Structure 1
Amino acid sequence: MTSLRHFNAMDVFKFNATNLDPLTETYDLEFYFSYLARWPNLFIAAEAQDGTITGYMMGKLESSPSYLQFSEHYLPFHAHVTALTVAPHARRLVLAQILTRSLERGVDEYDAWFVDLYVRRSNKIAQALYGKMGYSVYRRVLDYYVDGLTGDAEDGLDMRKPLRRDRDSKHIRENGENFTVTREDVF
């Protein structure tokens, strides 16, 4: 049995099995702790009975700086999924959907407009997963993912799901993959 709870500082010693996966972005400790300090209620851990972390979701609330309010790339108050990962042995158990829905319910209470996330254009499995959960591509970000060793770049897809506040789906669009922006346009 797996249970959800808020991530805590000691969990960084228990999530190696989850992070040691080529599809998981591993950050430095300062990054994890900054999320833990700023958005503790949006940093959710899935814990197995033996105490290991089988998955986690790092989320935050944000908006573009006010000086960008007239820019076509301005983002109103919304939630962002920074990281969602599930250990390979715990996949196909709907844990990713459970973690995502937990974050969505939490940020809906803050009256955010939408939840967004970025996914590699080549990651069709993640795109299908998010699509099933109501996310759609809003725009394609050219060369969003850059490999630090080789310099190779891959486009990212900005996927969004409207929340209760966005009754008219004002921040969602059809055929989003046809709308391209550069990395510099993304806040």
Structure 2
Amino acid sequence: MTSIKPFQLEDLFNINPVNLDPLTENFNISFYSQYLNTWPNLFYKSIESTALPQDEVISGYMMAKTEGSLFKNELHTHITAVTINQNYRRINLASKLCLQLEKISEVQLTLFIDLFVKVTNELGRKLYEKLGYSIYRRVIGYYGKSMPLDRNLVNDDIDAFDMRKNLPLDKDKKTIRDHGENVYVLPNEIVFL
């Protein structure tokens, strides 16, 4: 049986099986700690129960933050990482973690949820589309090693789609757009303070 619980700092010792996914970005301890201290309600894990409580398994986790300004129509929740242990995939855990984040974000009165997904990650993109996300823009060179200078130099291997789902506070749907895959931006053009 799956349950969702707050992430704890000591959980970092138990997430290696989750982080082994090649599409999951791994961070240093201070990065995880910052999220735990600043946005504790947006950092949680899914747990699989076993016969013995000490043998519970972390099957996945969600790490998100709130950023932007309501005044500028940019107040949103950003998914930094959502990942599932490969032994627990295809049972809707990622959807469950995303839907939990949506509930929290609605209570916190953010306008939308966004995330970056690699252009080549078709499974991820389809999952988010199924949950109601759409492509807002293509970020050229987002996953590259150097800052790109030409927004028209597309490369599926290092580009990302910025995907969004508007929330009830955005009644007029100002935070989403149609055909966002045709809007190209550079990483340094994405600023939320």
| Residue 92 of structure 2, aligned match among 94, 119, 126 | 94
CA distance in 2 between counterparts of 1:89 and 1:146 reads 29
Determine if the alignment matches structure 1 residue 160 to structure 2 residue 146.
no
Q: Which whole-Å deviations, capped at 9, do the CAs of 1:1-42 have from their partners, x for residues lacking one? A: 121011011110111110112111110011111000000000
Name the SS of the counterpart of 1:146 in structure 2: coil
The match for 2:182 is 178
CA distance in 2 between counterparts of 1:20 and 1:154 reads 20
Q: Structure 1 residue runs of 4+, over 6 Å off?
A: none
TM-score normalised by L of structure 2: 0.87
Q: Which whole-Å deviations, capped at 9, do the CAs of 1:53-102 have from their partners, x for residues lacking one? A: 110000111006x9xx5xxxxx6111000000000010001000000000
8 Å Cα contact 1:15-1:52 kept in structure 2? no
Identity %: 43
| Pairing of 1:1-187 with structure 2 (within 5 A) | 1-49=1-49, 50-63=55-68, 76-147=74-145, 154-187=158-191
Q: CA deviation at 1:51?
A: 1.9
Amino acid at match of 1:164: P
8 Å Cα contact 1:142-1:180 kept in structure 2? yes
8 Å Cα contact 1:144-1:155 kept in structure 2? yes
Q: CA deviation at 1:147?
A: 4.8
CA distance in 2 between counterparts of 1:81 and 1:23 reads 14
Q: CA deviation at 1:44?
A: 1.0
Q: CA deviation at 1:146?
A: 1.8
* Alignment RMSD: 1.8
CA distance in 1 between counterparts of 2:186 and 2:170 reads 26
Amino acid at match of 2:26: T
CA distance in 2 between counterparts of 1:105 and 1:132 reads 17
Q: CA deviation at 1:52?
A: 2.1
CA distance in 2 between counterparts of 1:183 and 1:115 reads 18
8 Å Cα contact 1:118-1:159 kept in structure 2? yes
Name the SS of the counterpart of 1:144 in structure 2: coil
Q: Which runs of 5+ in 1 are unaligned?
A: 70-74
Q: Which runs of 5+ in 2 are unaligned?
A: 50-54, 147-154
CA distance in 2 between counterparts of 1:103 and 1:147 reads 30
**Higher relative strand content:** 1
CA distance in 2 between counterparts of 1:3 and 1:14 reads 16
